[in-house]
Amino acid sequence: MRLNRFYLENFSGEKIIELKKGPIFHQIKNVLRMKTGNFLSFFYNNKEAIYKIESITNKDIFLVWQEDVIIKNKINREIILFQSLIKKDKMEWVVQKAVELGVTKIVPIISERSEKKNINLDRLNKISLEASEQCGRQDLIKISEPIKFKDILKKLKGLSFLGDSSGNNFIKSFKEKKNIEDNINIFIGPEGGWSSEELILAKDNRIEIVKLNNYILRSETASLAFLSLLSNL
């Protein structure tokens, strides 16, 4: 049976937890309708433990520690997704799946052909949290404020790749690297693709332009395809 997991800020593995009315209280009592004797887990910052519900009232829920959960999905490589702003539903889908595929940070970027110029950060961070709860991750991925493509280039660390159909084969290029650094940056363009000026700017800042195949991929397809490959390289 699948264990319900909840992200609890500042959780440190306390032996007894008392939940007052709030989002988690509401989820446990009114949405999931959990009962006394049911088990669940809390996690925060790579710490997770299983708890048993001792009592539920209309004011609070008491839970007792049962055992710590061993960190099983620790990510050893920092993978940052620099995702150009795309339509709302597609952006939300990318965030959800990127969390499931092990990305460590998501930075929305504004490129020349971005159709959107802003995002609902609260909504995207909520999707990120729910994805972590669902997939078993013990960390929380925050989505940063959007930043212009040209403004982020001087701040990069590690290997950087930019997806474009004009580039070299990504897998071949990646495997030819003698020293794979711990920081890997993936840049994905908007629906209209990168401008020629942005491609030149990328090359000037030592960002390697790469492709997955000979087809032109949708932005959301490219994001998930690159992340899926990186999780196995």
**Residue 135's domain is classified under what CATH number?**
3.40.1280.10
pTM: 0.84
pLDDT at position 180: 67
pLDDT at position 1: 60
pLDDT at position 103: 93
pLDDT at position 70: 84
pLDDT at position 92: 95
pLDDT at position 177: 78
Q: Which one-letter amino acid corresponds to residue 205? A: N
For residue 58, give both structure tokens: 């209309």
In a domain, 59, yes or no: yes
- For 123, phi and psi rounded to 5 degrees? -65, -45
Weakly modelled stretches of the chain, pLDDT under 50: none
In a domain, 73, yes or no: no
pLDDT at position 71: 74
pLDDT at position 46: 81
pLDDT at position 107: 96
CA distance 187 to 191: 13
Whole-angstrom distance between the N-terminal and C-terminal Cα of the chain?
32
pLDDT at position 140: 86
Range of the domain at 149: 78-230
For residue 164, give both structure tokens: 């474009």
Same domain, 139 and 84: yes
Same domain, 149 and 195: yes
